[in-house]
Amino acid sequence: MSARRRRRAAAEEEEEEEEAAEAGSDKEVDLEERLGELDLRIDSDVPDVPPPTDSTPEILKRALSGLSARWKNWWIRGILTLAMISVFFLIIYLGSFMLMLLVLSIQVKCYHEIITIGYRVYHSYDLPWFRSLSWYFLLCVNYFFYGETVADYFATFVQRREQLQFLIRYHRFISFALYLTGFCMFVLSLVKKHYRLQFYMFAWTHVTLLITVTQSHLVIQNLFEGMIWFLVPISSVICNDITAYIFGFFFGRTPLIKLSPKKTWEGFIGGFFSTVVFGFIFSYFLAQHQYFVCPVEYNSETNRFVTECEPSELFQMTKYSVPPLLQAVLGWETVNMYPFQMHSIALSTFASLIGPFGGFFASGFKRAFKIKDFADTIPGHGGIMDRFDCQYLMATFVHVYITSFIRGPNPSKLLKQLLILQPEQQLSVYKTLKSHLIEKGILQPSLRV
């Protein structure tokens, strides 16, 4: 009897386990269905953002009134593109400081456009403090990054200002304290029944800071390496944008990606070859001038940015042997060119093949929130972010490229750091360096310096 009872009990346990497993699988299916329904509901419940108004000047509207919508948009984009390029060249002429102000202005405007979309989508105007906190966090992050730049490139200037010495010495602590203040204010602003919405917007703000402020900081870092590292990448992206649009407008037949239906393979390929050729030729002209190739440095005596130096090997004409396969085609055995032109091919390739994915990412973002453009700042183009969505990827790539393949020891920067040391520290460095040079045989032991 006991054996039968044990077998019966074992059979009952197996049945219960099977039922529990089936119930568990049913629960998992129900959970997946509910999550799927939630995802669908969220996508469908995203409120429509009011469409941007047409900011095209009336004079252009009247002049182009007889054209079809397609050609009217083409002319508006073309005229405004030429105007923006002209303004860009004017700012280049005005110098590095104006370029930095331009980058800062673009960063603030891009941040404003993205944050405004969040406000409109999630109706965040009624949340306490949130609009103010968003701009407060922008101020904090800019204070941190630009403070790092000042400490890195303006050391001698800071050394002469006692007030600045305190700010630079405790810069990171002050930056953290400022951010912590904003964080605590956010926690104190949490309102019942709005927790999820507030955390949505908190994350939205921080991702926007990552996209805009961090990348603009890298753009300025690239500028300090030499204006050519700023102009060639940015111009390559602009060239790719223009030529891809032209090739796509006249020859486009094959869709490239669903996220951006107007993009075509013909435009993508035409833009690639045009950008590589443009970057190669543009680099040749820039590499001939110190103004573009020398690192941007601050002269504390004249209180001005200077671009004077002995150009590095990258910007000195070099003779290269033409590969045998190309000799028969070109008829040349050697060719003279600047080494930087070889690097320009890598920059242009990234700008034309990978850079557009920044635009595709922005297109997906706009589709997710049912908007055509980020704003209506530039007629025919949309917002500032619509024109600079590809530039942010480019800025990161150039910074990584420079630090990985180009940048070496910087004697000028090292000297600035030595000059801010205490006298006894400078003397210690001097003795160590002297001993090292004697061991290397560069200095004689009896030499007095």
Domain positions in the chain are 81-413, 414-449
Q: Which of 160, 258, 143, 159 is nearest to 209 (CA)?
A: 143
**Tokens (6 digits) for 292:** 């573009």
In whole angstroms, how large is the CA radius of gyration of the chain? 30
Q: Which helix (H) or strand (E) holds 257?
A: strand 255-257
- Render pLDDT for 129-180 as a digit per residue (tens, 0 to 9): 888 899 999 999 999 999 888 877 776 677 677 777 788 889 999 999 999 9
Answer yes or no: are the C-beta atoms of 177 and 321 closer than 8 Å: no
User: What does the DSSP 8-state code read for residue 404?
Assistant: I
Q: Which of 215, 231, 214 is nearest to 223 (CA)?
A: 231
Can you give the pLDDT at residue 55? 60
**Tokens (6 digits) for 293:** 């190739």
Can you give the pLDDT at residue 404? 92
**Tokens (6 digits) for 72:** 């009217």
Q: Which of 266, 272, 139, 137 is nearest to 207 (CA)?
A: 137
From residue 107, alpha-carbon distances to 267, 371, 433 in Å are 28, 21, 43
**Tokens (6 digits) for 170:** 């405790």
Do the bridges between strand 255-257 and strand 260-264 make them parallel or antiparallel, or are there none, so unpaired?
A: antiparallel
Which positions of the chain have pLDDT values less than 50? 1, 23-44, 447, 449
Report H helices in 252-323: 265-286, 290-293
Reported as half-sphere exposure (CB side, CA atoms, 13 A), residue 138 has a value of 23
Answer yes or no: are the C-beta atoms of 80 and 403 closer than 8 Å: no
Can you give the pLDDT at residue 165? 78
From residue 21, alpha-carbon distances to 7, 15, 18, 373 in Å are 21, 10, 5, 50
